[in-house]
Every structure is written in structure tokens, then in C-alpha cells.
Amino acid sequence: MDEVRQRLAFKWDELNVLETMLSVGGFDRDYARKLFRDSLEDAYIEGFASAEYMLKQEEDIEEDLLLLAVDKEYDGESIFTKFDNYYENGEADKLKTLMDSEFHRAYSQGGLDMASKSGRTVYKTWETMQDDRVRETHDYLDGQTIPLSDKFVTLDLDEADAPGGFSLPENNANCRCWLSYSAE
């Protein structure tokens, strides 16, 4: 699992470089949006590949599932519309939060999609980065293993299929947790 944790940390580092580049500016909005979109696709693919590695099984990525994970809307508003607004208005903090949250959600969704394609009984285990930045509501989940179709429940009773999928923003923002997978 250390290899998966290290690969995810490396992807977070790549995202931080992109966020720094965008905060400095100098890119036109459409190009900046393309970089953001590419990072989400990369996150999905990495999440998918990590689940393949853990389950020791290869599957093909379905383009429609990747697009569904990347082209997310909240309350009828595309994440790319939010990105455009934050980028054009120079709202670097909001832009970073959006990019982190959506990157994380796409990574988690890639893993879930791969695991659901495996055709086996799959279990998911909540993993933290095991450092002093892990929040109490997620430290509580660390190591919990449940069936793939079940939801994780935090101490504050928020539910999610995976990290990055909670209904309360405070349980998603700055979260670096991930799932490991096992199968019967």
C-alpha cells in the first residue's frame, strides 16, 4: 500500500505545481481550463490504475464513465463554469479548493469504477496519509473495511462512497484520504 500512497502523494505534488502556475497567471482562461480538465482525467486514470494494481486485475477504462467523472455539475452548474469564474476573478483560494476537491473526487471515482467492473466481491478500506494533518472525522475511518456498495460514515454522520464524496464541504476540503481494495 505504500506504493499507492506514494503515487498519490506524487500526483498531489503535480497538482500543486499546476495550482501554483495558475495562481501566477499568464495563461488565457481556455488554456487554464484545459490544464485543469487534463488533471482531472489524469486523476481518474490514476485512481483506476491504482485499483487495478490492488486487485491484480486489468480492465479497460470506459470513456463515458471517465467523462461522467470529469464533467461534474453541482446544482446545475458545471465545475468548469466555477473554474472560469474563480480564474477570471483572481480568486486563488477558491480555485485551489475547487481543483483539490475535484481532483480528489475524480481519483476516488476512477478507483470505484474499476473495482465495480472486476466482477468479484470487492471490499474497500479507508486509508489516510497517516500524518498530523489527518482530521479527526477521517482518522476515525482509517482502516475501516466495508463492501464496495456500502458507504463510509464519519463521526459527524456524513456519508460517502469514497474520499471526496461527502455532502458536507468540510469533510472534502483538503482531504488526502484514499481507498485500498481487496477481493474474494
Task: Describe the strand order of the beta sheet including 122-127 as a list of residue ranges.
Answer: 145-147, 122-127, 178-183
Note the pLDDT of residue 135. Answer: 87
At residue 180 the predicted structure's pLDDT band, cuts being 50, 70 and 90, is very high
**Hunting for cell 490544464 — which residue is that?**
35
Note the pLDDT of residue 2. Answer: 83
- Over residues 24-82, the pLDDT tens digits come to 777 888 999 999 999 999 999 999 999 999 999 999 999 999 999 999 988 899 999 99
Mean of the pLDDT values across residues 160-174?
A: 91
- Listed by start position, the domains of the chain span 2-183
